[in-house]
Structure 1
Amino acid sequence: MICPAWSKGSSGGTFSFSTTPRRSLRLQRELLEREERRRALAREWATRRFLPEPPRAPPSPPRRRRYCRDPAVHNALYAGDLPRVQSIFKDEATANLVLEMVSEELVWSPEQGLWVLSPRRQQTSALRIVTARGYEDCARHLLLRGAAVDAVVGGRAPLHDSAAAPHPNCARLLLAFGADPNVLSAEGSAPLHLCTAPQSLRCAELLLAHGARVNLGTRDRQVTALHVAARQGLVAHVELYLHHGADPSHRTHQGETPLNAAAAAAEHPKDAERYLRVAEQLLAAGADPGAAGRKGHTPLHNACANGHPGLARLLLCHGADATVPNGAGDTPMDCALRAVHEYRDQRPEETLVLLLDHGALPGHPKMLRLCCQHPPALEVMLNAYDRVPPAEGWAEDVPPELWEEHQEFYTSAVRMAGQPRRLQHLARWAIRSHLGSRCHSAVPKLALPPALRRYLQLHIEGVIS
């Protein structure tokens, strides 16, 4: 049971304060302190704005930082123990202490030729610790005691930590106390660049509402928030940034666009749908489907290398070139063939057909060894030639157990190697060669029976004839 506090009234008697009035009085006092700080800043700004600038005093020497290595202080902050924080941080000097922690890590010593323990110093601030953990009451106390809201200690400002965590309540508090939404970390990143999780959407909204520059790039690489969101497959973030004027054509120092970033990161089948939606949004906003980024990779190169037929289809429908080589001379078809084995459960034969329907060439027969362990992909590629290439380049790479499982297909492929194909296949090859990159649009319009149309579209039959 909490004992009430007693105070003398104006008549000389006493009266009790319950818990609720005491909390109300404390909040009112904090609001008054905050209002006084705001008015002081406003008066200072008005003086600088409208009055002649007074003579500048000689610059004062920088305030010497005070350090704290006391584990008890650290523990109070990490635990969010508000009473202890209030008892420790009572003024501006203590609120701006630099908290230093020393840990030991293994490093290689060339002189000794072995791994040795070496001390590693890490610095942070009290405000960084509590905002990174969402302790809003502790953060408010520190700010009211004069904690520097934008101080970059240990490489980051408090707003970086609250956005990365993410803790929207602390981000809102910091911004209300005047935090710069574009403050840069030691690595040159703004808080918006650290909104990398789906749960950080509210933080991103708060930052943009308080003036965060949506097209601000990181200091060294010029990566924007849209690049980050596209690389992480954050559909809602991408929509938010585009709504606030993000440039879908902005390039990093390596030439990457947000679409390049999304296509390169779409490596896992479970994330395929998210990255497809991100790409749809970027293309609708005007992104270039053929923009070559790092090492000359286009988004189509990346989509094919990641075994993502849905993304490849989307890019091709928006005009991506199926024949353009990258910096190493590889075409999207080369990338797709190299991905067959790793992504054989994701129907890589669909990507191969898509590329062939948009004008890609089957390439050198030696590339057949890359797809020989996935019969549907091998069938598509063999039917892209007017005659089956020699089997010596791929047959020895097929495991015996796989050969036994698909014996009819592999036997027919070896039997037809170097032999003339049926007239039906030669007619198919001639029609497809004539249509070239128009196969995807022209073949469905031909007045042919459905079975013959499927044959022209390289439908899988399970045998080479």
Structure 2
Amino acid sequence: MSVVEESRPFAQQLSNVYFTILSLFCFKLFVKISLAILSHFYIVKGNRKEAARIAAEFYGVTQGQGSWADRSPLHEAASQGRLLALRTLLSQVNAITIDGVTPLFNACSQGSPSCTELLLEYGAKPQLESCLPSPTHEAASKGHHECLEILISWGIDVDQDIPHLGTPLYVASMSQQFHCVRKLLYTGADVQKGKYWDTPLHAAAQQSCTEIVNLLLEFGADVNAKNTELLRPVDVATSSSLVERLLLQHEATPSSLCQLCRLCIRNYIGRPRLHLIPQLQLPTLLQNFLQYR
């Protein structure tokens, strides 16, 4: 038997391998093209949710990060903090990807106060429908308190409740973002509003964050509030932890008269008018006291 005859089966096998690889590549390319066409069809028909689902399942695109299908240069500039590029693209200020992401969301996600301010000045909506990704919640969860402060100054609802996230205060407490929690509370966020029946204090106790627990208690958080499982904040705290001891001590110690008076006055003034406290005919010491300064 010649050498050529002996090597022929191996050559045939190698040829089959190459053919299989080529077939798989062509099949994958065909699927990609088909899904791209299908996604475009859903976008044209107005069914952006279904288009987002296709992108998420096949391409691994996560909600909140923007979709490959219709992510505009404005989204890219905002997410990268490129202020100069952003100025040239502001004709699409409220552009929304198929999964609901706006350039303002991208700017808050990356923590760019300058881009956030610029987008708002050119007409970006600081707050959209509750079903869309929220710039406020994104800034609060990532600790971008400067972006959060800008959003607050533009009149966002600091108690906006998104069913699967809760309020910005709850999100900030769960993410242990002290500065964002403080900013929200100073602005007048409801200390009791969280996610369903879980309060921000439940979130802070669960994360064993003593700083935030102390801050929430100072603003009147209820240590006896129960969630859907009838658990109080102390019940979700780590056993024998500093947070558990702190909550137990607070339960046994009544609030001071000063704290009760401050909470009562702030509640009477109301959140929309808290910013007017400096205009009251009160000594500076009392103004600072009412503003937790």
1:261 pairs with 2:85: no
| Matched residue type, 1:351 | C
2:116 counterpart letter in structure 1: A
Indicate the residue corresponding to 2:97 in structure 1: 252
Task: Name the residue aligned to 2:233.
Answer: 393
- 1:322 deviates by 1.0
Of 210, 231, 235, the residue aligned with 1:375 is 210
Instruction: Tell me, yes or no, if the aligned pair for 1:371 and 1:378 is still in contact at 8 Å.
Output: yes
1:282 CA displacement: 0.3
Rg bigger for which structure?
1
2:134 corresponds to: 298
1:371 match: secondary structure: helix
Following the alignment from structure 2 to structure 1, what is the Cα–Cα distance between the partners of residues 256 and 68?
Answer: 60
Distance 1:375 1:358 in 2: 21
The two structures have a TM-score, normalised by structure 1, of: 0.42
Change (3 A) 1:234 1:252: same
In 1: Cα distance, 2:132 partner to 2:252 partner? 36
- Cα deviation 1:400-447 (Å, max 9, x = unaligned): 6x73xxxxx975653231653221111101111112223541233344
Which residue of structure 2 lines up, in the alignment, with residue 350 of structure 1?
Answer: 179
**Please, which of 292, 306, 310 is the counterpart of residue 146 of structure 2?**
310
* Residue identity in the other structure for 2:201: L
Residue 117 of structure 2 is aligned to residue 284 of structure 1? no
Alignment coverage as a number of residue pairs: 227
SS at match of 1:259: helix
SS at match of 2:92: coil
User: Percent identity, aligned pairs only?
Assistant: 22
Residue 241 of structure 1 pairs with residue 74 of structure 2: no
Q: 1:331 to 1:360 in 2, by over 3 A?
A: same
Q: Is the 8 A contact 1:249 1:258 kept in 2?
A: yes
Change in CA separation of 1:223 and 1:327 when aligned onto 2, cut-off 3 Å: farther
**In structure 1, C-alpha distance between the alignment counterparts of 2:132 and 2:172, rounded to whole Å:** 16
Q: CA deviation at 1:448?
A: 4.3
The equivalent of 2:175 in structure 1 is: 339
Q: Which has the higher contact order (CA 8 A, sep 6+)?
A: 2
CA distance in 2, matches of 1:412, 1:331: 24
Q: Is the 8 A contact 1:387 1:420 kept in 2?
A: no
Tell me which amino acid in the other structure corresponds to 1:237. Answer: A
- Residue 190 of structure 2 is aligned to residue 361 of structure 1: yes
| Alpha-carbon distance in structure 2 between the residues aligned to 1:387 and 1:369 | 10
Which of residues 194, 203, 226 is equivalent to 2:74?
226
> What's the TM-score once normalised by structure 2's chain length?
0.64
Pick the structure with more helix per residue: 2
**Cα 1:221/1:434, change in 2 over 3 Å:** farther
Shift of 1:286: 1.1
Q: Is the 8 A contact 2:126 2:154 kept in 1?
A: yes
Structure 1 residues 386 and 298, CA gap change in structure 2 (3 angstroms)? closer
**Contact 1:292/1:299, CA 8 A, preserved across alignment:** no
Superposed, 1:44-123 pairs within 5 Å as: 118=21
> AA paired with 1:356?
L
Q: Over aligned residue pairs, what C-alpha RMSD do you find? A: 3.6
1:444 paired with 2:278, answer yes
State the one-letter code of the partner of 1:318: W
Q: Unmatched 5+ residue regions in structure 2?
A: 1-16, 27-31, 33-38, 41-65, 226-230
- What displacement does 1:388 show? 4.6
C-alpha separation in 2, matches of 1:261 and 1:396: 33
Match of residue 328 from structure 1 = 164
Distance 2:269 2:104 in 1: 30
**Residue 3 of structure 2 aligns with which residue?**
none
